[in-house]
């Protein structure tokens, strides 16, 4: 039975649940890991994570299906992406099979926190990994902690399915050959100033350009982006400096194989924005959030789908993807991990 909670009005924020998973890495290996109730972490003042931001994270969700099962969506891809991120940050990857087992374990322990089917809320799962022991010179830690906590969440953007407004900032997110393609905490630290500025100016998010030429669309601070052309092709930016979103990869598959639409992953130039009829952000937290307008300084791009509701193709993609996640539509093999 679920906890008694106002699930329908939940936003996207941290709510402490009962259990979390923790495993420690020392002397070159990971311990057996355990479930704990302690949400606090005590670390040395010179821990590598505090001084040199040696930390990375993942995000996935557990869903209650129509039949009452609890499932999560493609956790193997989060496990793989976290291992890739860890290697880029000189951290020991947490073994991918153990990552999936730990996700299952921690969700099972917090099963009463999985929001009911149809409430619009889900249980967000946050695995993270950080360098723990003191360092002084710039070098990686030798000791690490891998943790997973959970938190019930509602829509990432207030207003749920209402289209949002983006702006093109004068800041960049990721440099060529940098860390834009991995989920390093540092990518988010550097976005905080830009997001605060965007909010102050009345925008919901920043849409970043490629930093090498500042002519191409990349992604936002916390989501990838898709566009729909006037002839219903689903297009998404191809770039080595954006995070390979699991939601975006799944949506492109859904567009092609479930909806019979043409899809294309290619460079998208800022000049082309006027040619698309729909635009949406995609990610675990964002799900599929429609974009109504983009402000590029004095140039305003109004997507024809408008500011009232999702465009027609975006809605179909949303319904199919969430239908798969919530067990209403049959999933491609291997996409759904049944927890209970
Ligand atoms: N891009 C960024 C920068 C993100 O933080 C996220 C969130 O995880 C995404 C894209 C979407 O990725 P995913 O669909 O795997 O959650
Ligand atoms: C996610 O979608 O899981 C994210 O990590 C995005 C954001 C909360 C940083």
pLDDT digits (tens, 9 = 90+) for 183-207: 999 999 999 999 999 999 999 999 9
pLDDT of residue 159: 76
Output the residue whose Cα is nearest ligand 1's atom 9: 223
pLDDT of residue 32: 98
Count how many Cα atoms sit within 13 Å of the Cα of residue 205 in the half-sphere of its side chain.
Answer: 25
Model confidence at 309, in pLDDT bands (50, 70, 90)?
A: very high
pLDDT of residue 3: 85
Output the residue whose Cα is nearest ligand 2's atom 7: 222
pTM above 0.95, yes or no: yes
The token pair at 255 is 């567009």
Question: Is 5 a residue whose pLDDT tops 80?
Answer: yes
Question: Is 16 a residue whose pLDDT tops 90?
Answer: yes
Count how many Cα atoms sit within 13 Å of the Cα of residue 156 in the half-sphere of its side chain.
Answer: 20
State the closest ligand 2 atom to the C-alpha of 57, by its place in the atom list counted from 1.
5
Output the residue whose Cα is nearest ligand 2's atom 3: 59
What average pLDDT does the structure give for the chain?
Answer: 97
What value does the mean pLDDT take over residues 75-86?
98
pLDDT of residue 75: 98
State the closest ligand 1 atom to the C-alpha of 60, by its place in the atom list counted from 1.
16
Output the residue whose Cα is nearest ligand 1's atom 12: 245
- The residue whose CB lies within 8 Å of the most ligand 2 atoms, and thus the one to mutate among 180, 285, 286, 321, is 285
Model confidence at 4, in pLDDT bands (50, 70, 90)?
A: confident
**In the structure, which protein residues have their CB atom closer than 6 angstroms to any atom of ligand 1?**
59, 219, 222-224, 243, 245-248, 283-284
pLDDT digits (tens, 9 = 90+) for 40-75: 999 999 999 999 999 999 999 999 999 999 999 999
- Tell me, in angstroms, the distance from the centre of ligand 2 to residue 137's CA: 31
pLDDT digits (tens, 9 = 90+) for 229-274: 999 999 999 999 999 999 999 999 999 999 999 999 999 999 999 9
Distance CA 78, CA 193 (A): 27
Q: Which long-range contacts (CB under 8 A, 24 or more apart) does 194-203 make?
A: 194/169, 194/221, 195/221, 197/169, 198/167, 198/169, 201/167, 202/165, 203/165, 203/166, 203/167, 203/295
Question: Is 1 a residue whose pLDDT tops 80?
Answer: no
Does residue 165 sit in helix, strand or coil? strand
pLDDT of residue 108: 98
Distance CA 290, CA 163 (A): 5
What's the DSSP call for residue 285?
T
State the closest ligand 2 atom to the C-alpha of 283, by its place in the atom list counted from 1.
2
pLDDT of residue 158: 84
pLDDT of residue 328: 95
């Amino acid at each position: 039975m679920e906890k008694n909670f106002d699930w329908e009005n939940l936003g996207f924020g941290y709510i402490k649940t009962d259990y979390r998973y923790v495993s420690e890495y020392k002397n070159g290996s990971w311990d057996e890991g355990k479930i704990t109730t302690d949400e606090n972490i005590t670390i040395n003042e010179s821990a590598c994570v505090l001084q040199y931001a040696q930390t990375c994270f993942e995000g996935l969700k557990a869903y209650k299906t129509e039949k009452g099962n609890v499932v999560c969506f493609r956790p193997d891809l989060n496990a793989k992406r976290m291992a890739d991120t860890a290697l880029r940050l000189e951290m020991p990857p947490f073994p991918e099979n153990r990552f999936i087992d730990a996700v299952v374990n921690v969700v099972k322990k917090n099963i009463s926190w999985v929001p009911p089917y149809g409430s619009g809320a889900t249980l967000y799962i946050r695995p993270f990994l950080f360098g723990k022991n003191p360092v002084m010179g710039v070098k990686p830690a030798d000791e690490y902690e891998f943790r997973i906590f959970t938190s019930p969440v509602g829509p990432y953007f207030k207003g749920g399915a209402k289209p949002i407004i983006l702006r093109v900032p004068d800041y960049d997110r990721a440099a060529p050959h940098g860390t834009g393609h991995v989920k390093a905490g540092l990518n988010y630290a550097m976005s905080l100033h830009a997001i605060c500025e965007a909010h102050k100016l009345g925008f919901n998010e920043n849409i970043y350009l490629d930093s090498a030429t500042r002519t191409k669309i990349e992604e936002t601070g916390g989501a990838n982006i898709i566009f729909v052309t006037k002839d219903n092709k689903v297009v998404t930016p191809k770039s080595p400096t954006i995070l390979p979103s699991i939601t975006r990869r799944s949506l492109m598959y859904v567009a092609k194989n479930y909806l019979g639409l043409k899809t294309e992953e290619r460079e998208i130039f800022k000049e082309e924005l006027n040619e698309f009829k729909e635009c949406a952000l995609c990610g675990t937290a964002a799900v599929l959030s429609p974009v109504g307008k983009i402000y590029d300084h004095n140039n305003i791009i109004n997507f024809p789908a408008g500011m009232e509701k999702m465009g027609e193709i975006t809605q179909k993609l949303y319904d199919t993807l969430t239908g798969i996640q919530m067990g209403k539509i049959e999933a491609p093999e291997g996409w759904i991990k049944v927890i209970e």
